[in-house]
């Protein structure tokens, strides 16, 4: 099976200090306009990113044809991503189109103003932008190493020494569906909208959690969304924990999403390994009478569905025996991971329905997940990725 290909590019702060912000602002405004009926079609919620032509390069991009060929992949419905970095932060963009046409002549309102006097080799239409790493060069290095550069002997992308012939044409050993879980994790809003609300505080708290609680190794093994949800929950708890009358339901939902994201990623990876080559009729599980494909199409599951799959589904236990036999009891025994999922689910359900969550309730779950005064659930879970 042919692997999907993606792109990696670098933005130069000398062109615009707020390059990503200027694109995010357009996306956020157009999303609001669509919800307010000021934009007729959801397809109008997009922004254009231009690959600015270097004044020192006199020849065309040597791999421009390969870059443009990704538009066929996009139009065929294959999720295709543009990874963007300034070496300190990393974003991933959901591509809608790749073209050499100057889009400023047809969609000026969807193009940031700083492209006005710039020549661009190629334009990328973007549905959404998601922040993966904020102000953490070491984490950027770790994330980019998961991508392989097709024009550099399929070697892992190197932040220092490998950023030539941009945009890089890359593939990933284990595919990530960066935006497929949006409905479950952002209530259907753009990731760009969520990230814009949490910009500075998430970066500060992410560094603190990495350096003073989890340690660099465990932190970088976590899913990017797990780290984001933990940091945003911590922002609320640390600001309001001296206020016993405060409703901590928002923080409860964020902690629950962190656990939900991490378990989905681990279980999806294990089941893909166990069942990707098995006939679809022999890899279908059921949760509340709804089919779940345990192979390549494993969709995002809520905490309740994850608990039922782990505790009650024979195919999950059989798959774990095939690919992680030493971990079967941890994942499936009702007194281990399924029990932890149930505890957090009980807190999230009322929180998700606007019922107040007390400080003591959210702190109990927080301490268990993060390992405050005990062995943390997330550390036990993430360490099993090794």
Instruction: Give the separation between CA 61 and CA 67, rounded to whole angstroms.
Output: 9
Task: Indicate the domain borders of the chain.
Answer: 6-172, 198-383
For residue 16, the model assigns a pLDDT of 60
Under the banding of pLDDT at 50, 70 and 90, the label for residue 351 is: low
Summarised one tens digit per residue, pLDDT across range 106-119 is 899 999 998 988 89
Summarised one tens digit per residue, pLDDT across range 146-196 is 999 999 999 999 988 778 889 999 999 888 889 988 888 888 889 999 888
Instruction: Specify the higher pLDDT residue, 353 or 266.
Output: 266
For residue 353, the model assigns a pLDDT of 64
Summarised one tens digit per residue, pLDDT across range 213-251 is 999 899 989 998 999 999 999 999 999 999 989 999 999
Summarised one tens digit per residue, pLDDT across range 259-278 is 999 999 999 999 999 998 89
For residue 352, the model assigns a pLDDT of 64
Residue 254 in this model has a pLDDT that exceeds 70: yes
Instruction: Specify the higher pLDDT residue, 101 or 298.
Output: 101
Summarised one tens digit per residue, pLDDT across range 30-43 is 999 999 999 889 99
Q: Which residues contact residue 61 at a Cβ distance below 8 angstroms, ignoring those fewer than 6 apart? A: 51, 67, 121, 122, 165
Instruction: Specify the higher pLDDT residue, 14 or 279.
Output: 279
Instruction: Give the separation between CA 127 and CA 94, rounded to whole angstroms.
Output: 5
Q: The tokens of 97 are what?
A: 């189109």
pTM here is 0.81
For residue 144, the model assigns a pLDDT of 94
Q: How many residues does this entry show for the chain?
A: 386
Hey, what long-range contacts does 173-176 have (CB within 8 A, 24 or more apart)? 173/146, 173/148, 174/146, 174/269, 174/272, 175/3, 175/4
Instruction: Give the separation between CA 225 and CA 261, rounded to whole angstroms.
Output: 7
Mean pLDDT of the chain: 90
Beta bridge partners of 177: none
CA dihedral 17, 199, 379, 316 (to 10 degrees): -100
User: Percentage of the chain with pLDDT > 70?
Assistant: 97
Under the banding of pLDDT at 50, 70 and 90, the label for residue 45 is: very high
Instruction: Give the separation between CA 379 and CA 330, rounded to whole angstroms.
Output: 13
Residue 305 in this model has a pLDDT that exceeds 50: yes
Q: The tokens of 309 are what?
A: 């799959």
Residue 296 in this model has a pLDDT that exceeds 80: no
Under the banding of pLDDT at 50, 70 and 90, the label for residue 1 is: very low
């Amino acid at each position: 099976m042919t692997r999907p290909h993606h792109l990696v590019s670098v933005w130069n702060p000398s062109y615009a200090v707020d390059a990503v912000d200027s694109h995010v602002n357009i996306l956020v405004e157009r999303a609001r306009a669509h919800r307010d009926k000021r934009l007729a079609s959801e397809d109008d919620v997009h922004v254009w990113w231009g690959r600015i032509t270097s004044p020192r390069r006199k020849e065309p991009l040597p791999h421009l044809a390969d870059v443009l060929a990704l538009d066929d992949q996009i139009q065929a419905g294959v999720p295709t991503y543009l990874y963007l970095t300034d070496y300190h932060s990393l974003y991933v963009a959901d591509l809608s189109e790749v073209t050499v046409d100057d889009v400023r002549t047809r969609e000026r309102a969807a193009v940031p103003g700083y492209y006005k006097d710039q020549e661009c080799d190629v334009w990328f239409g973007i549905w959404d932008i998601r922040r993966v790493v904020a102000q953490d060069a070491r984490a950027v290095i770790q994330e980019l190493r998961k991508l392989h550069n097709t024009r550099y002997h399929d070697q892992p992308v190197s932040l220092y020494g490998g950023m030539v012939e941009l945009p890089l044409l890359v593939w990933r050993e284990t595919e990530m569906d960066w935006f497929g879980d949006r409905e479950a994790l952002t209530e259907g809003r753009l990731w760009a909208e969520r990230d814009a609300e949490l910009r500075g505080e998430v970066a500060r708290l992410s560094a603190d959690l990495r350096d003073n609680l989890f340690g660099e190794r465990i932190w970088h093994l976590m899913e990017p969304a797990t780290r984001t949800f933990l940091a945003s929950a911590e922002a609320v708890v640390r600001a309001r924990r001296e206020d016993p009358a405060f409703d901590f339901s928002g923080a409860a939902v964020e902690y629950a999403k962190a656990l939900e994201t991490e378990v989905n990623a681990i279980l999806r990876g294990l089941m893909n390994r166990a069942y990707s080559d098995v006939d679809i009729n022999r890899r279908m599980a059921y949760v509340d009478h709804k089919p779940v494909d345990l192979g390549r199409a494993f969709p995002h599951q809520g905490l309740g569905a994850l608990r039922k799959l782990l505790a009650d589904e024979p195919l999950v236990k059989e798959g774990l025996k095939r690919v992680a036999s030493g971990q079967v009891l941890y994942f499936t025994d009702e007194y281990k991971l399924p029990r932890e999922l149930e505890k957090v689910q009980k807190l999230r359900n009322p929180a998700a329905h606007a019922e107040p969550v007390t400080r003591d309730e959210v702190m109990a779950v927080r301490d268990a997940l993060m390992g405050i005064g005990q062995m943390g659930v997330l550390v036990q879970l993430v360490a099993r990725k090794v």
